[in-house]
């Protein structure tokens, strides 16, 4: 027997698999179709353990499905646009495109070393013009439908660079590039109207249980639907700046607690609220201005301060509570968010903790409108007096009603009827701002014409290609604006001089729909072939990171719903099942990072142990979504297991009966040569366990079952061929190289020794199926699982006192079993001098005595 040398066999088989196109998918196959998707990678240049963890799992599942007789599509591509490419370009003077495509080449090679059965013939690289032209096409469609629109939003703005900054590009409230203090500024950007899909994006419970519950909960929270009311208050502002006359305006508040309307003692506006300039009084002006200025800065500088104390300033103006005509002061405070609801809030210190804190600080009145009992009249003096639920009090015709209901609905009806307000549904979800002042992204296919305004690029002119020559380090304008030849175009409408939009799209646009394009990468006529997509989507399973819970996976769902509305597809969710992978930490237990120096490089581990050992180790570590440190000893353990598997080949019986000489695994061929009942039972038990576990992605226990079986096989003198073949087949998805090698050794040996004419034909018909990965998955038979003797524990008052070995044919006979238990020597001892009050016998499981003294 040769030594197990992973470095030799792994490269050999990887090459052979590619040569034989073993994993190429046939889209028109009649077999059951399974599209297995693993999140594609950003081409950072190096494959890390995270990629291994995820792709190995996808690969195991894919190989398993193939052996079950399915046509499997396991593609991969690259999420190739993004900031790191631009940063590398700036620091290392390599063009982002060259940097990216070099990395892709290198990472493709690294992927090969994993032994993953990816079909590389069908891929998608988002930085290819052939890909991103469809980003542009989708954008134009969205524009046409009013889903993409130009709007204004507050953004982080660097006044020196004249650019919008992402949150992560702000350090200490200052621009990461030039150190200028960042301000909030209202900037025009392109938006996708995510909110138009808010309701459809909400997970309505039991239907989609194959998406993780935490994800569904988080997405629903993120969407944050609430059903409340908008209530209008009249504003009295005698001494407003604009006029000395009595001025009247109106301000709307949004609340989900309309039942507390009689407890309003003040009103608060967000510092950005438009009405402020209108209602502010002369006396208060300077104070208010100072406050607004301070709060603009504060949102950046003091974001991380844990307990933000509430602050505010009085405007000098008052408004009238419509339900009781009460005059209440209008304040400004930054605890009110301008972008949510109406940017104005009614202050109810008696029933809201935040309002109470604010009222306490500024000495505003707190009225009890919700009581502990229907006649509670206790004052609201401390935080513990604030009640959100209870009974309505001090609210004339509603007193005594229970909250939230029926009080809330009754008051809503009444407010609506009186015309004081109307029902309103609010979402926390915002529309998606996709404009980026960056170079390495999809150009937005819009043209700005002085005469015609914003004009979409005609579909026939797509793609709007990214120009290669630009200055991607400009200050004060987006990089694309420096490519003048590219920027200056004719207006498609009036043919006059016009300029291209110089911003690019958020990378999350690119990856919201890549799995559609995998199916039809080279299609230049349409975004994808509807027939192929109909046949292959939704995804069987989508494996990826939990960090994409409210980003990527939500956006993809949005795109899918949009595609549905365009009539491109007839499904509404793109994946039947979503699974989150685990995270491998450094050996020190903290996140792997270059700066910590705790990065485990997969390439080096492959050199020492081989890909199979790493695959096995990663999957054996624990449940698939585990977060655990890399343990060098653990890899060694996996390697050890493979060596024992390798050593098993010498125990395999050489004599083969003719009927079994083919390489098909057929458990029922009557070839149990050399196998005892115990052997058979364990084999079938293991097939069952491994099959069921892989189906549920419980790889760790599947591997444990194989280990148990190996322990059994290792103790035997000889291992039957049937056992060995079955073992290799079950292990094949996990460790594809070593099993392929051992399989080939077995088949070679077999064919030289046992060639018969009847088998020859079988061999020929299997010529295209030389690989273990093309074999059929072993099938278990329940008849082998039955055991002749079963262990039945005997409990006395809940404690196991003995374990009886009983013949299975008596197990259904209650009285016989009970008698055997009572007569058992050990049990007798425990029952002595006690009275048996009850005997519980659960057939095939346990027998339980309840005894008392005397």
Partner RNA sequence: GCCGCGGUGGUGGAAUGGUAUACACGUUGGACUUAAAAUCCAAUGGCCUUACGGUCGUGUGGGUUCGACUCCCACUCGCGGCACCA
| 279 within 8 A of 330, measured Cβ to Cβ | yes
Q: How far is the CB of 115 from RNA (least distance, A)?
A: 21
Contacts (CB under 7 A) with RNA, residues 79-118: none
The burial class, CB within 10 Å (0-12 / 13-18 / 19+), for 786 is exposed
485 touches RNA by CB under 7 A: no
CB of 812 to RNA, least distance (A): 16
Interface pick for RNA out of 90, 383, 800, 836 (rule CB under 7 A): 800
End-to-end CA distance of the chain: 69
**Residue 187 C-beta: closest distance to RNA, Å:** 19
Binding RNA by CB under 7 A: which of 801, 820, 831, 834?
A: 801
DSSP at 654? -
The CA distance from 574 to 551, in Å, is: 15
The answer to the question of residue 812 lying near RNA (CB under 7 A) is no
Tell me the closest approach of the beta carbon of residue 696 to RNA, in angstroms: 9
Interface residues for RNA in 343-362 (CB under 7 A)?
Answer: 343, 345-346, 348, 352, 354
Least distance to RNA, CB of residue 722, Å = 22
For RNA, give the closer residue by CB, 657 or 836: 836
| Closer to RNA by Cβ: residue 548 or 773 | 548
Could you write out the three-class secondary structure of 797-821? CCEEEEEEEEEHHHCCCHHHHHHHH
Q: Does 803 bind RNA (CB under 7 A)?
A: yes
Q: Show the tokens assigned to 816.
A: 């016989």
Does 546 sit near RNA (CB under 7 A)?
yes
- Closest among 652, 657, 591, 193 to 429, alpha carbons compared: 193
Of the ranges 88-96, 275-283, 328-336, 478-486, which one interacts with RNA (CB under 7 A)?
328-336
CA distance 777 to 786: 22
| Residue 339 vs 756, nearer CB to RNA | 339
293 is a site residue for RNA (CB under 7 A): no
Of residues 334 and 573, the one with the C-beta less far from RNA = 334
Minimum CB distance to RNA, residue 497 (Å): 43
Applying CB under 7 A, does 296 fall inside the site for RNA?
no
Under rule CB under 7 A, how many of the chain's residues touch RNA?
77
| Cβ nearer to RNA, comparing 66 with 548 | 548
- The interface region with RNA, picked from 124-132, 172-180, 695-703, 740-748 by CB under 7 A, is 695-703
Q: How far is the CB of 510 from RNA (least distance, A)?
A: 21
Show contacts with RNA in window 598-657 (CB under 7 A). Answer: 620-623, 626-628, 631, 633-634, 636-637, 640-641, 643-644, 647
Binding piece for RNA, criterion CB under 7 A, among 10-18, 313-321, 563-571, 711-719:
711-719
Query: What DSSP letter does each residue of 214-275 carry, written as one string?
Result: HHHHHHHHHH--EEEEEEEEEEEETTBSS-SS-EEEEEEEEES-GGGGGG--EEEE-TT-TT
Quick one: tokens of 294? 């301070």
Note whether 701 binds RNA by CB under 7 A. Answer: yes
Among 31, 160, 308, 361, interactor with RNA by CB under 7 A: 308
Closer to RNA by Cβ: residue 271 or 463? 271
Smaller CB separation from RNA, 12 or 698: 698
Q: Answer yes or no: are the C-beta atoms of 709 and 683 closer than 8 Å.
A: yes
Q: Could you count the other beta carbons within 10 Å of the beta carbon of residue 128?
A: 17
The correct pick among 256, 532, 785, 804 for binding RNA (CB under 7 A) is: 256
DSSP string, 607-630: HHH-HHHHHHHHHHSSSTT-EEE-
| Smallest distance, RNA to C-beta of residue 217, A | 4
Q: Which is nearer to RNA, 565 or 692 (CB)?
A: 692
CA atoms of 441 and 510, how far apart (whole Å): 9
Task: State in angstroms the smallest separation of the CB of 98 from RNA.
Answer: 34
Q: State in angstroms the smallest separation of the CB of 674 from RNA.
A: 19
Nearer to RNA, 337 or 494 (CB): 337
Based on the shown chain and the rule CB under 7 A, indicate whether residue 454 belongs to the binding site for RNA.
Answer: no
**334 part of the interface to RNA, by CB under 7 A:** yes
Residues with Cβ within 8 Å of 314's Cβ and at least 6 positions away in sequence, in order, are 284, 287, 329, 330, 331, 332, 362
Binding to RNA, residues 361-420 (CB under 7 A): none
Tokens representing 726 are 């079955």
Residue 322 binds to RNA (criterion: CB under 7 A) = no
Stretch 235-254: interaction string toward RNA, x if CB under 7 A:
-------------------x
From residue 210 to residue 239, the character string flagging contacts with RNA as x (rule: CB under 7 A) and all else as - is ---xx--xx--xx-x-x-x-----------
d(CA 432, CA 39): 21
Which residue, 269 or 527, has its beta carbon nearer to RNA?
269
Contacts of 422 (CB under 8 A, 6+ apart): 229, 230, 415, 416
Is residue 432 a contact point for RNA (CB under 7 A)? Answer: no
CB-nearer residue toward RNA: 372 or 428: 428
In angstroms, give the least distance from the CB of 804 to RNA: 10
196 versus 546: smaller Cβ distance to RNA: 546
Shortest approach of RNA to residue 627 CB, angstroms? 7
Identity of the residue, 755 or 789, whose beta carbon is nearer to RNA in the bound complex: 789
Q: Give whichever of 125 and 584 is closer to RNA, judged by the CB atom.
A: 584
Complex with RNA: residue 29 or 631, whichever CB lies closer? 631
Q: How far is CA 622 from the centre of its chain?
A: 19
Q: Kindly report the backbone phi and psi dihedral angles of residue 385, in degrees, each rounded to the nearest multiple of 5, phi listed first.
A: -85, -15
**CB proximity list for 319: less than 8 A, separation 6 or greater:** 233, 234, 235, 236, 251, 267, 327, 328, 330
Q: Which of residues 820-849 bind RNA (CB under 7 A)?
A: 838, 840, 842, 845-846, 848
Closest CA to 35 of 408, 492, 574: 574
Rg (CA), the chain: 35
SS3 (DSSP) at 565? helix
| Nearest approach, Cβ of residue 81 and RNA (Å) | 22
257 makes contact with RNA (CB under 7 A): yes
CB-CB contact of 308 with 283 (8 Å): no
Q: Which residues contact 761 (CB under 8 A, 6 or more apart)?
A: none
Which residues 6+ apart lie within 8 Å of 115 measured at CB? 10, 13, 14, 59, 611, 612, 615, 736, 737
- The tokens for 355 are 């309002």
Q: Under the criterion CB under 7 A, does residue 549 sit at the interface with RNA?
A: yes
Q: Which residues pair with 171 in a beta bridge?
A: 174
**With binding defined as CB under 7 A, does residue 750 bind RNA?**
no
Residues 495, 489: Cα–Cα separation, whole Å: 9
Which CB atom, from 469 or from 825, has the smaller least distance to RNA?
Answer: 825
- Residue 779 CB, nearest distance to RNA (Å)? 22
> Which residues inside 712-741 make contact with RNA, applying CB under 7 A?
714-715
Contact between 336 and RNA per CB under 7 A: yes
User: Is residue 708 a contact residue for RNA (CB under 7 A)?
Assistant: yes
Q: CA of 131: how far to CAs of 135, 562, 575, 799, in Å? A: 7, 18, 21, 66
Name which of residues 118 to 137 contact RNA (CB under 7 A).
none
Under the binding rule (CB under 7 A), the answer on residue 508 touching RNA is no
Helix (H) or strand (E) run with residue 345 in it:
strand 344-347
Residue 791 engages RNA in binding (rule: CB under 7 A): yes
Contact 554, 193 (CB under 8 A): no
């Amino acid at each position: 027997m040769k030594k197990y040398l992973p470095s030799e066999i792994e490269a050999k088989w990887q090459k052979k698999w590619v040569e034989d196109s073993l994993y190429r998918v046939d889209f028109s196959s009649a077999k059951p179709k399974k599209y297995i998707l693993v999140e594609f990678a950003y081409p950072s240049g190096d494959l890390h353990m995270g990629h291994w963890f995820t792709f190995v799992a996808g690969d195991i599942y894919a190989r398993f499905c193939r052996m079950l007789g399915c046509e499997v599509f396991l593609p991969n591509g690259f999420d190739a646009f993004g900031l790191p490419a631009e940063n590398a370009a700036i620091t290392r003077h390599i063009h982002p495109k060259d940097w990216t495509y070099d990395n892709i080449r290198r990472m493709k090679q690294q992927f090969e070393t994993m032994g993953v059965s990816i079909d590389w013939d069908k891929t998608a690289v988002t930085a290819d013009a052939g890909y991103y032209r469809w980003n542009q096409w989708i954008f134009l469609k969205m524009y046409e439908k009013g889903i993409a629109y130009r709007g204004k939003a507050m953004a982080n703005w660097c006044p020196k660079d004249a650019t919008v900054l992402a949150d992560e590009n702000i350090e200490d409230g200052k621009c990461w590039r030039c150190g200028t203090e960042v301000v909030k500024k209202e900037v025009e950007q392109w938006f996708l109207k995510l909110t138009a899909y808010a309701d459809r994006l909400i997970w309505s419970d039991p239907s989609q249980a194959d998406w993780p519950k935490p994800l569904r909960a988080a997405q629903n929270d993120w969407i944050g639907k609430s059903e409340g009311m908008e209530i209008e208050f009249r504003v009295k502002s005698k001494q407003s700046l604009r006029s000395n006359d009595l001025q009247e305006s109106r301000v709307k508040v949004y609340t989900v607690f309309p039942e507390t309307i009689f407890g309003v003692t003040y009103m608060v506006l967000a510092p950005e609220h438009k009405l402020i300039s209108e209602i502010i009084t002369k006396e208060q002006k300077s104070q208010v201005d100072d406050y607004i200025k301070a709060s603009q800065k504060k949102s950046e500088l003091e974001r991380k301060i844990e307990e933000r104390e509430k602050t505010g300033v009085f405007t000098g103006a008052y408004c009238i509570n419509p339900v009781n005509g009460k005059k209440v002061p209008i304040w400004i405070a930054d605890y009110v968010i301008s972008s949510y609801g109406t940017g104005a809030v009614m202050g109810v210190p008696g029933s809201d903790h935040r309002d109470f804190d604010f009222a306490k600080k500024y000495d505003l009145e707190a009225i009890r409108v919700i009581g502990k009992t229907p006649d509670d009249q206790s004052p609201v003096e401390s935080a513990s007096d604030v009640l959100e639920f209870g009974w309505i009090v001090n609210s004339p015709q509603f007193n005594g009603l229970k909250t939230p209901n029926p009080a809330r609905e009754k008051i809503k009806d009444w407010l609506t009827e009186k015309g004081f307000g109307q029902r309103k549904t609010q979402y926390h979800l915002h529309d998606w701002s996709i404009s980026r002042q960056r170079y390495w992204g999809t150009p937005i296919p819009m043209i700005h014409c002085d005469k015609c305004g914003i004009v979409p690029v005609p579909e026939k002119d797509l793609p709007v290609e990214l120009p290669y020559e630009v200055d991607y380090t400009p200050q004060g304008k987006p990089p694309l604006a420096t490519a003048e030849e590219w920027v200056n175009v004719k207006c498609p409408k009036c043919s006059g001089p016009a300029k291209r939009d110089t911003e690019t799209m958020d990378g999350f646009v690119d990856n919201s729909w890549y799995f559609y394009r995998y199916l039809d990468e080279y299609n230049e006529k349409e975004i994808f072939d509807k027939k192929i997509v109909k046949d292959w989507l939704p995804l069987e399973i989508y494996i990826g990171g939990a960090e994409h819970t409210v980003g990527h996976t939500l956006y993809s769902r949005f795109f899918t719903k949009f595609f549905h509305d365009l009539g491109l597809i007839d499904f509404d969710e793109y994946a039947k099942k979503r699974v989150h992978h685990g995270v491998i930490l450094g050996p020190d237990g903290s996140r792997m990072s270059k700066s910590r120096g705790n990065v485990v490089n997969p390439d080096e581990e492959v050199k020492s142990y081989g890909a199979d050992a790493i695959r096995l180790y990663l999957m054996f570590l624990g449940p698939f979504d585990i977060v655990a440190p890399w343990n060098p000893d653990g890899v060694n353990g996996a390697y050890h297991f493979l060596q024992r598997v390798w050593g098993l080949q010498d125990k395999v019986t050489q004599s083969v009966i003719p009927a079994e000489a083919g390489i098909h695994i057929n458990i029922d061929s009557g070839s149990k040569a050399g196998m005892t009942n115990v052997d058979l039972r364990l084999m079938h038990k293991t097939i069952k366990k491994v099959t069921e576990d892989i189906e549920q992605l419980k790889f760790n226990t599947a591997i444990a079952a194989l280990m148990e079986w190996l322990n059994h096989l290792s103790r035997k003198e000889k291992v039957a061929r049937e056992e060995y073949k079955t073992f290799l087949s079950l292990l094949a998805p996990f460790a594809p190289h070593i099993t392929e090698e051992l399989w080939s050794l077995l088949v070679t040996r077999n064919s030289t020794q046992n060639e018969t004419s009847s088998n020859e034909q079988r061999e020929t018909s299997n010529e295209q199926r030389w690989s273990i990965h093309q074999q059929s998955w072993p099938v278990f038979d329940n008849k082998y699982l039955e055991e002749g003797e079963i262990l039945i524990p005997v409990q006395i008052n809940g404690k196991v006192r003995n374990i009886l070995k009983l013949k299975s044919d008596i197990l259904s006979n209650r009285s016989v079993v009970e008698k055997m238990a009572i007569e058992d020597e050990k049990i007798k001892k425990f029952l002595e001098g006690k009275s048996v009050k009850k005997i519980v016998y659960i057939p095939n499981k346990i027998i339980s005595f309840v005894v008392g003294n005397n």
